[in-house]
Copies of this chain bind each other. A is one copy, B any other.
């Protein structure tokens, strides 16, 4: 499968070298290292923490401010009942298998995948093919090879069977996986032991609120539920008018059984989620759709995937919505806005696509769903999900709580409605049912029109009907105590539950992909790596480097620091003794876009050189001109090319040594 991942300069990507840079420049590391490090938890050091903050600010501006979304912050701690209603208590789970002898717990799908891939690799070795794709974790391979016999040729039919298993693994139930494990004698690769049948394990972190033990709770698995539960307040704040959107940037948690793939699958992660509420009868039109309809997107649709294809097609969103490839304007509008956001932060547009969910991938209630996937060395990775959740969530919470999470609006014209109504005679039913009368009436109210029609006939024919009332069992109602008949009434209000379109961003995955996208090495020198962050998002904007250690530079250095501070531009001073070229190059790894140098000419004429990280070209100008250029470039109002055009070029002798 894998198209090999290349850097932006078209070089083969060396993940070991890349990860070494991330560690060396303290971008990130596993949390609690002195205590042995905890899997699936990461700490961000200054470069990555700052990059995240810059990107969150762009997200806020691009979505919340610009689209007038209502930003919310909801609690992470979430009572049991909320997540029971949403379905997470029952369905937010993975299957695991236990090794009964070692007590080790393995994710069932990972176990099957690992063992079968190892066998297929052994088969290819035995056939004399070159085996290139390694398992992710070298340690695992080493352990695995102790047990598995490598280089064993398989029957062609078995190979075919194995390939089919790998292709369909995502669709397997726990029982399916149990059957596969027994049929193919899949064992724990580290111990060689048989494993127990797959058991569903919920992935939420459980805790409890308060000391009484009466309030079980979870850490939320998504930020969406808090937004749904705030619906009434949001509706009021927007004067009862749809559509409107809420947005929430916050942490969610997932107790992964065996986390891997670095930042791509972690236990604690930042999400940015939008819930856009629309009237389902509006056709899900979007007022600003016209302004984006000619934007082209790389779309990988459901049918192409079913036919085994994996190549996306460029198409304008206008055409995609017109042909119903993308379900509606609102969904289409958000796909464009997602792409524009990715452009703003510097994602490589050739490594971005939108993939439509297959029919069986979507939740049963979803109308359509597209993932924005970014290509990195792990393959195409889902970084944003953009789903139409229909009215599902509001409906279930409304049913569970009785709180009307819906819109009431006056009808333009009153509507005559004809329908069957079943009504207890209050005078007679009161004495008969006492406090249960209400329960009987509400059971009647909830019957469907069909059932009411049938009951009405029965009542005419038999003089009585029977209904099943919760906690009371079958209840007989005689003709004199109930009326069931067709009635006509006039409705003046319309009540409906809005549909929700939800773009949901996994910030950690975006950050990781972006870091791979901007990483490359200078031509002819693989040791000199560069992180080409856009000036707008770069964690530090300017490197200030006096040419040499010389007290005469101190005054100008102080002046530059003060001026940069006044402009609120972040900078780093590097006064170490090494050559200026070396200082540039080691700060290229931090992704600092601009280098500002003080040299002997600065002492004479108060001019400075400014170096561009990506081209290594330099200009020379006065402090005011240089600061103006920096300020414009970090705000995204000017590019280096613009600056190079208007300020005089400078050829550095030191730079030759780069």
Binding site for B on A (CB under 8 A): 25-26, 29, 31-35, 38-46, 48-50, 52-53, 57, 60-61, 64-66, 68, 70-79, 81-82, 96, 103, 105, 201, 205-212, 215, 219, 226, 229-230, 233-234, 236-237, 239, 251, 253, 255-257, 267-268, 397, 401, 403, 405, 565, 568, 570, 572, 576
Contact of A233 among B26, B211, B255, B267 (CB under 8 A): B26
**Contact B57–A72 (Cβ < 8 Å):** no
The 8 nearest A-B residue pairs measured at CB: A44-B73, A34-B403, A31-B75, A34-B401, A41-B75, A49-B71, A46-B70, A205-B207
CA distance in complex: A185, B234 (Å): 49
Contact of A210 among B209, B255, B570 (CB under 8 A): B255
CA distance in complex: A387, B35 (Å): 26
With contact pairs A46-B237, A565-B66 given, residues A229 and B75 touching in the complex (Cβ less than 8 Å): no
**Contact A31–B74 (Cβ < 8 Å):** yes
**Chain B residues within 8 Å of A257, by CB:** 210-211
Which residue from chain B places its CB closest to the CB of A50 in the assembled complex?
Answer: B71
> Please, could you name 12 A-B residue pairs with CB atoms under 8 Å apart, sorted by A?
A26-B233, A26-B234, A35-B229, A38-B79, A41-B77, A57-B57, A76-B251, A105-B212, A206-B207, A209-B255, A211-B257, A251-B251
**Chain B residues within 8 Å of A40, by CB:** 209
**Contact B219–A35 (Cβ < 8 Å):** no
**Contact B46–A79 (Cβ < 8 Å):** no
CA distance in complex: A328, B32 (Å): 32
CB distance from A503 to the nearest CB of B (A): 18
Which residue from chain B places its CB closest to the CB of A57 in the assembled complex?
Answer: B57
**Contact A35–B75 (Cβ < 8 Å):** no
**Contact B32–A79 (Cβ < 8 Å):** yes
* Identical subunits present: 2
With contact pairs A38-B209, A207-B206, A568-B65 given, residues A72 and B96 touching in the complex (Cβ less than 8 Å): no
CA distance in complex: A70, B49 (Å): 9
CB distance from A376 to the nearest CB of B (A): 21
**Contact A230–B45 (Cβ < 8 Å):** yes
Contact of A34 among B43, B208, B234, B405 (CB under 8 A): B405
**Contact A267–B237 (Cβ < 8 Å):** no
**Contact A105–B75 (Cβ < 8 Å):** no
CB distance from A327 to the nearest CB of B (A): 28
**Contact B568–A43 (Cβ < 8 Å):** no
**Contact A229–B72 (Cβ < 8 Å):** no
Which residue from chain B places its CB closest to the CB of A404 in the assembled complex?
Answer: B34
CA distance in complex: A401, B32 (Å): 11
CA distance in complex: A34, B232 (Å): 10
**Chain B residues within 8 Å of A405, by CB:** 34
Which residue from chain B places its CB closest to the CB of A66 in the assembled complex?
Answer: B565
**Chain B residues within 8 Å of A401, by CB:** 34-35
CB distance from A380 to the nearest CB of B (A): 27
**Chain B residues within 8 Å of A25, by CB:** 237
**Contact A35–B81 (Cβ < 8 Å):** yes
**Chain B residues within 8 Å of A568, by CB:** 61, 65
Which residue from chain B places its CB closest to the CB of A41 in the assembled complex?
Answer: B75
**Chain B residues within 8 Å of A233, by CB:** 26, 29, 45
**Contact B72–A45 (Cβ < 8 Å):** yes
**Chain B residues within 8 Å of A403, by CB:** 33-34
CA distance in complex: A572, B238 (Å): 11
**Chain B residues within 8 Å of A251, by CB:** 76, 251
